[in-house]
Amino acid sequence: MNKKVLGLLAASAAVVGSAIFATPARAVQQEVEVNLTVDEVLFLRTFETVSLRISQGELGGAIDKDFVGTTDGTALIDVEQDTGVEEINPGDNVTKEVKELYAVYGNGDVDEDDVSVSITVSPGGDMLSNNAGRNEILAKMSVVGPLESERNVDDLNDDLDLDGTLLRIGGVELAFEFQEDDGTAITPQAGDYTGGRLTVEATTIGS
């Protein structure tokens, strides 16, 4: 038999054999659902530090001086008249207002009514201490309640050109009770008190 013919037959047999033993191609297809959640955007701005002052007037002393007549150099000053130095009762709170403490912003999907803001005393942040060269005096801080800002949010949004929307502005009323380091209630003592901490948290209702 012609060698050329034999070669063609061998090649044909190889192709047929490969076709018989090769694994046929398979494809499996499945559609997959895709969901996407876009979080509501909240931005909170607060003051870094709240520095308050309790004045003489707030302690009951509205008058800080007076006259008691004339002296010829030998008269003794009258020390029995009422003075402007009055003290509140030990254990009574002195309250202070922080008119505005925070501002909350959000994206277009968040409405003012959807936002809740809480102001609480941070754990371990309720005691302000004054240890200026004498026995330690403490001022125990508590939150009386929130304060609404006198500024109108809608009017501010009309005037501002911001990314996002101003949702809420507010403040807080705080109370301070003075005591010795053993917890004994005392009247307010002059000095600088430090160490208080507040936590301001803004959340969307239902989140």
pLDDT tens profile 71-97: 777 777 777 776 665 667 787 889 999
Three-state secondary-structure class, residue 44: strand
Among 120, 138, 137, 129, which residue's Cα sits nearest to residue 174?
A: 120
CB under 8 Å to 111, separation ≥6 — which residues? 167
CA atoms lying within 13 Å on the CB side of residue 155: 4
pLDDT 10s digits, 24-74: 788 999 999 999 987 777 889 999 999 999 987 787 765 566 677 777 777
- pTM (predicted TM-score): 0.73
Q: Show Cβ contacts of residue 139 under 8 Å, excluding neighbours closer than 6 positions.
A: 127, 128, 129, 130, 176, 177, 178, 179, 188, 193, 196
Cβ neighbours around 167 below 10 Å, total:
23
Give the residue extent of every domain in the chain: 42-48+89-204
